[in-house]
Chains A and B, each alone.
Chain A
Amino acid sequence: MTETATTVEAEVERHDEHDHPSDRSYVGVAAVLGLITAAEVLTYFFDVGPFLIPALMVMMTAKFFIVAAYFMHLKQDIPLFSGFFVGGIALASIVYITMLTTFEFWDSFDF
C-alpha cells in the first residue's frame, strides 16, 4: 500500500471518531443562515453607501462556509473532500477573474 493511501486511511479513521451534529445543532445553523440572509436583504432597502459590496461579499462568504462546513459535513469529513471542493472554487476564481480582467470588467468600478 502506498504512503498516500495509508495517510488517507488514517484520516478516514480519524473521521470515524467524530459524531454527527444533533438535529438541534442543524436548526441552530439554519437560524444563523436565516439571520445572515435577512441582513443581506436589508441592505437592499437601506442605503449603506460604499459598504454595500464588501458587506454583501462578507455575508455571502460566511453563508457559503457555514453550509459547506455543517450541512455538507466538510467540518467532520476527511480533508481530501474539502480539497476537491475548495480546489474547484479556487480554480474557477483564478480562471474567471483572469477572464473578467481580460475583458476590462473592473474598469466599470470606481476604486
Chain B
Amino acid sequence: MAEAALDAHEHPETNTGMSNSKLALWVFLGSECLLFGGLISTYLLYRNETNGGPTASDVFEIPFTSVSSFVLLLSSLTMVLALSALRRGDETRNRIWLLTTAMLGAVFVGGQVYEFTAFLREGLGFTTSPFSSAFYTLTGFHGVHVSVGIVMLMSLVVVSLKGDLSKERAETVELIGLYWHFVDVVWIFIFTVVYLTV
C-alpha cells in the first residue's frame, strides 16, 4: 500500500496534507469526551442515591485503587516508549514495550474485576441502587475501553512478530497510543471525581 510505504515524517497526499486516520481518531476522541462526560455526570447525580445499600465510603478501597491508577499511569509511559523505539527503528524494543503496556493494562482490568467482585460480596450489585448502577456503568465502560486497547496492543505485537510493523508504519502505533493515553486521561478524571471525593 502506498500509505504503508510512507516515511514516519512524510505526509499522505490528502487535501489537508495530514493523515486522514489521525484526523478521524481525534474527532473520535472528541466524541468520546461526550460519552464519558455523560456517564460521569450521571454518577455525580446519583452518587448519594443508595436505597439503603452500601455507600461509596463503605466499599471503596482507596489504597488498592491508587495502585491501579499508578499501574495505568505507568502503562502510558511504556506506550510512549514503544512509539519512540519504533521511530528509531528498534523493532525489538517496540515489541517489548507494547507487550509491557498490554500486561499493565491487563493488571488494571484484573484489579477492576477483583474490586467489582469484592463490592458484590459486600452487597453492592448492579441494580442495588441508582448509585451502584451509575458506578458500575461508568467504571465498566472504562474497563471495556481498556480491554479493547489491550486487544489492539496484542494485535500490534502479532503484526510486529510477522515483521510487518516497521519504522514506516509508526503512525499505526501512534494512533493506538493516542487511544491508550485517552483511556488514561479518562481514568485521571474518574479516579479524582469518583474515588477521591468520597
A interface residues with partner B (beta carbon < 8 Å): 1, 5, 8-9, 12, 16, 20, 22-23, 26-27, 29-30, 33-34, 37, 40-41, 43-44, 52-53, 56-57, 59-60, 63-64, 67-68, 70-73, 78, 80-81, 84-85, 87-89, 91-93, 95-96, 99-100, 103, 105, 108
Interface set of B (CB-CB < 8 Å, partner A): 9, 11, 15-18, 22-23, 26-27, 29-34, 36-38, 40-41, 44-45, 48, 62-63, 66, 69-70, 73-74, 76-77, 79-81, 84, 87, 174, 177-178, 181-182, 184-185, 188-189, 191-193, 196-197
Name the A residues within 8 Å of B33 (CB-CB).
Answer: 85, 88-89, 91-92
A93 to chain B, nearest CB (A): 7
Interface residue SS majority, chain B: helix
Instruction: Find the B residue at minimum CB distance from A86.
Output: B30
Known: A71-B76, A96-B38, A100-B41. A56 touches B196 (CB 8 A): yes
Q: How far is the CB of A27 from chain B (nearest CB, A)?
A: 7
Which of B77, B80, B81, B189 contacts A64, CB < 8 Å? B189
Query: With A12-B17, A12-B18, A85-B33 as given contacts, are A30 and B76 in contact (CB-CB < 8 Å)?
Result: yes
Distance A24 CA – B178 CA, assembled complex (angstroms): 20
Contact check, B45 vs A105: say whether CB atoms are below 8 A apart.
yes
Question: Are A9 and B16 within 8 A (Cβ)?
Answer: yes
CB contact between A71 and one of B23, B30, B62, B181 (< 8 Å): that residue: B181
Q: How far is the CB of B24 from chain A (nearest CB, A)?
A: 10
Asked if B84 contacts A8 (CB within 8 A), the reply is no
Decide if B44 touches A105 in the complex (CB within 8 Å): yes
CA distance A9 to B10 in the complex (A): 12
| 20 residue pairs A–B, Cβ–Cβ below 8 Å | A9-B17, A16-B9, A20-B87, A30-B73, A34-B73, A37-B69, A40-B191, A40-B196, A60-B193, A63-B188, A67-B181, A71-B76, A72-B178, A85-B33, A88-B29, A88-B32, A89-B30, A92-B33, A92-B37, A96-B37
Closest 8 pairs between A and B when the two form their complex, measured CB to CB: A88-B30, A92-B37, A88-B33, A30-B77, A96-B41, A9-B17, A84-B26, A60-B192
Q: Which of B62, B76, B80, B177 has the most CB atoms of chain A within a 10 A radius of its CB? A: B80
Q: Kindly list chain A residues whose C-beta atoms are within 8 Å of the C-beta of B81.
A: 23, 26
Q: Is the CB of A44 within 8 A of B196?
A: yes
Q: In the assembled complex, which residues on chain B have CB atoms less than 8 Å from the CB atom of A95? A: 34, 37
B27 in contact with A64 (CB, 8 Å): no
